[in-house]
């Protein structure tokens, strides 16, 4: 039994890409591993099935407090899935919910946090949820925003984008590694090499380059086109849509850009995301 290494992010910030990279790096397959097998490698802490093991009632019967109370217990139980450390995906902010931690630090070995320019997140998040961009921008600025418990996933406490980013990254820690989505795109090999080093790995350059290639956006998007992706929301046309930085320049109006910057300026400035002149 090990502990949990969290792959944490606000939605649409590179979490699935990171999972695919680590999957291909650690297993070193001859061909890219299948995207619909990602949950075999990295467990989703909010999957309802984990909570049913603690409370067999219909999920509709669970209150918000019930889910909050079960979450630390679920995290404890996830550590039994492997004799080594377990990778677990979360979109929760590092906070408390009904008096309970959203992340059980008692069973945490470390975390990789992915951050992305919220101007691009707004565009991608809107497509992901099947809502207008203005609705996505409003939700990203809503303090203590959370999802509802449904058949496949329990409630996630995400907060506003700034809340989420600050909750995970405000304090540097040796067990935390922060990665910008834009660096994953523009400097993939050195960026992913940094992830490998954080995990105590020293893969040969050829193995690292192969894992980067096997988990590229083009590979993942083609797999989705051919086979579908079970994590795609029903309202989204595609999960892997564009995978690029700067799409906000064409997709957002000046008023929308201003709204995002107004809501998140402090955290945007920390990561170099405030547009010039603003």
Convert the pLDDT of each residue in 57-104 to its tens digit.
999 999 999 999 999 999 999 999 888 899 999 999 999 999 999 999
CB atoms within 10 A of CB 213: 14
Say whether pLDDT at 11 is over 60.
yes
Instruction: Give the domain ranges of the chain.
Output: 4-116+145-240
CB atoms within 10 A of CB 200: 7
Please calculate the CA angle 50-56-59 and round it to the nearest 5 degrees.
Answer: 75
Q: How far apart are CA 104 and CA 76, in angstroms?
A: 8
Per cent of the chain over pLDDT 90 is 73
Say whether pLDDT at 237 is over 60.
no
pLDDT at 4: 97
Say whether pLDDT at 261 is over 90.
yes
Decide: residue 10, CB within 10 A, 0-12 exposed, 13-18 middle, 19+ buried.
buried
Q: 194 or 244, which is more confident? A: 194
Q: Could you give the 3-state DSSP secondary structure of residue 90? A: strand
Q: What is the pLDDT of residues 241-251, one digit of tens each?
A: 556 678 999 99
pTM for this predicted structure: 0.92
pLDDT at 271: 98
Candidate from 150-164, 191-205, 207-221 with smallest mean pLDDT: 207-221
pLDDT band at 255 (very low <50, low <70, confident <90, very high): very high
CATH class of 4-116+145-240: alpha beta
pLDDT band at 240 (very low <50, low <70, confident <90, very high): low
Q: What is the pLDDT of residues 141-166, one digit of tens each?
A: 999 999 999 999 999 999 999 999 99
pLDDT at 243: 63
CB 192 within 8 A of CB 14: no
Side-chain-side CA neighbours of residue 182 (13 Å): 12
Q: 232 or 219, which is more confident? A: 219
Mean pLDDT, residues 174-197? 95
């Amino acid at each position: 039994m090990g502990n949990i290494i969290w792959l944490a992010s606000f939605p649409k910030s590179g979490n699935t890409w990171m999972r695919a990279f680590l999957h291909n790096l650690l297993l070193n397959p001859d061909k890219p591993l299948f995207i619909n097998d990602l949950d075999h490698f990295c467990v989703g802490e909010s999957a309802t099935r984990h909570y049913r093991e603690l409370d067999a009632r219909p999920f509709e019967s669970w209150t918000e407090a019930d889910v909050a109370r079960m979450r630390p217990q679920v995290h404890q139980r996830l550590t039994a899935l492997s004799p080594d450390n377990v990778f677990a995906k979360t979109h929760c902010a590092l906070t408390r919910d009904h008096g309970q931690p959203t992340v059980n630090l008692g069973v945490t070995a470390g975390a990789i946090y992915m951050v992305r320019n919220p101007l691009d997140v707004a565009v991608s998040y809107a497509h992901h949820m099947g809502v207008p961009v203005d609705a996505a921008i409003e939700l990203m600025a809503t303090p203590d925003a959370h999802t509802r418990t449904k058949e496949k996933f329990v409630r996630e406490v995400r907060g506003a984008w700034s809340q989420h980013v600050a909750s995970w990254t405000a304090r540097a820690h040796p067990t935390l590694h922060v990665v910008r989505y834009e660096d994953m795109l523009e400097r993939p090999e050195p960026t992913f090499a940094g992830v490998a080093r954080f995990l105590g790995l020293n893969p040969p350059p050829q193995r690292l380059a192969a894992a980067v290639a096997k988990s590229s956006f083009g590979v993942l998007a083609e797999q989705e086109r051919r086979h579908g992706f079970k994590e795609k929301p029903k309202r989204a046309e595609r999960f892997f849509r564009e995978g690029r930085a700067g799409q906000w320049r064409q997709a957002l109006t000046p008023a929308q850009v201003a709204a995002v910057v107004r809501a998140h300026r402090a955290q945007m400035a920390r990561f170099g995301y405030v547009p010039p002149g603003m």
